[in-house]
Each structure stands twice: as C-alpha cells, then as structure tokens.
Amino acid sequence: MMDVWQADFYRRPLRDVKEQILWELFICDPKGSFTYSAFCPQQSINTDWLVNQLQQATAVSGLPEVIQVFRPQSLNLLSTAGEKLGISVIGTRDTITLKQKLQERAAQYPQQDNYTGEAYNPLALDKPPPVPLPDNLWGDRWRFATLPAGKIVEAFCDRPMPILQMPESLYPLNLGLASTLPVPGVVIDGGRQSMSLARWLQNAEPVALNYIPGAPDGLILEAGLVERWVVATFEDQEVVVAAKKYQQRQQQSQGLHFLLVQPDDSGMTYTGFWLLQRIGE
C-alpha cells in the first residue's frame, strides 16, 4: 500500500505577536489518523523551512511516497520541497480528508487570540473564468445520455480503447448506488477529431462536467486543480430541458457521471471514457 499524505500550505486568518500574517503547513493521511501542523510568518517562507518541517513530520509518520495537494499555490511550494526529499507531489482535487480537517480547524480560529476577524473560507480557490475548448478539437456532435449504474463497469472496464479513466472508488457498487439507477453523462461523437480530443481531455485531467444555467446555458468542464472549459453553449429549449434532467440525475447519483468520446454513434469503437464525480467545494 502506497504511503500518501495530503497537505496544504497557505495563509490563515491569524497573525503573530509582530502582526505578521501567518501561513500554516497542515498535513494528514487519507484516513485522518496522522496530522501535523506548523505555522510560519509570511515573510519567513522559504523552501528550507518547508523541507525542515516535512522532515519533522516524517520523523512521526515515516517518509510518504506521495503528497497530494489541492491548492495551486501550495503545489508550487511543496513540489520544490518534496523534490529535495525525493517525495512526489501531485495536484488533485480529491483530498477529502484534508478538506474536512481544514474546515474543522477554520471553525476553531475565531476562538484564538491572534484571529484577525477577516472572512475566511479554507477551501476557496481563485478560479479563472471558463474558456472555450480549442476549435480544432471539436467533434461532430454531442448529447446527454444515461447508463444503468449496474452496467457501467461491465460495459467499459475490459473494453479495449485508447483512454480509460475509471477509478475503483467511483464504481457505482462502491458508492452504494442501485444497479438500475440511471447515471447521467455526455457523449461526444468526435469524428476525425476523436483521438485528438480524447488526448487533449486526458492531459487536461477531467474532474466534472457541470451544467451551468445562464444566457446562454453552458456545459462546463472542471479540470486539473482550477481550470474550467466551455464544452458547449445552448439556448434550444429541448437541450435546456435535457441539461436540467442531467443535473437532477447527478444529484441522485451522488454526483457520479461520465464522459464518453467516440468516433461516431455506431457503438463499435470508443476513443475515451471518463467516470467523474461532482465534488462539493
């Protein structure tokens, strides 16, 4: 079993005796059985301090193989420190235990003497506005679809295709979903661009595909740590109704949904399949 830590290093609504803004390094393991915390004035932040703190944490828990980080600013700083210790640092939004711990700690800050009183959300990230997918990648057509929860793994797990992203943690059975429950998804017939689109998506690291009502309505791909891409916009009322149904089904499936890229709708070949989950943030 790979030893994994989840870590965050960022400013908190706290100041030291010299009125300097404090940053906190907080580390936990995915089970929450190990935690480590250290504060550093903003002016004193450097790689050596981080390396020293990581070494102190390893004295308690042993050296991890991987540190998972959800905040871009933390990723840059911790990657440099991790490199010096031979620890791989990766960016991922899927750091559920860390986010729970940070929320618990944030609830305690107002009771501390050095609390600044500023509005504070420990999970807030600066997200750029969504940008359109590159024109040269767009396929022939797209549509909303559903698959019975009990058929998803059977239909795709062993099927040969260039790109298959199906984490076991998202298998409907592991989420406790009824086998007959319709899991919503989006199917893109990529035509000649099918392989290029699938490769681009894989590099973008899809996280969720969300319906966003507006003028016009849109289908937004959440990817990487904070990236957002406009997959499609639409005003047609039939499509809007289908999009709302897609959103409702996501709520019924614990956020589970899928993205399928194929050359055409013949059902003979698939280019890429991603099992995704909308995570509340």
Segment 85-121, tens digit of pLDDT = 999 999 999 898 999 999 999 999 999 989 998 889 9
pLDDT digits (tens, 9 = 90+) for 217-265: 999 999 999 999 999 999 999 999 999 999 999 999 999 999 999 998 8
Q: Which residues pair with 11 in a beta bridge?
A: 23
Contact present, 15 and 22 (Cβ < 8 Å):
yes
Domains and CATH numbers, the chain: 4-111 (3.30.420.10), 131-277 (no CATH)
* First and final C-alpha spacing in the chain: 28
pLDDT value at residue 11: 95
Query: What is the 8-class DSSP label of residue 111?
Result: G
Contact present, 90 and 66 (Cβ < 8 Å):
yes
pLDDT digits (tens, 9 = 90+) for 27-49: 999 999 999 999 999 999 999 99
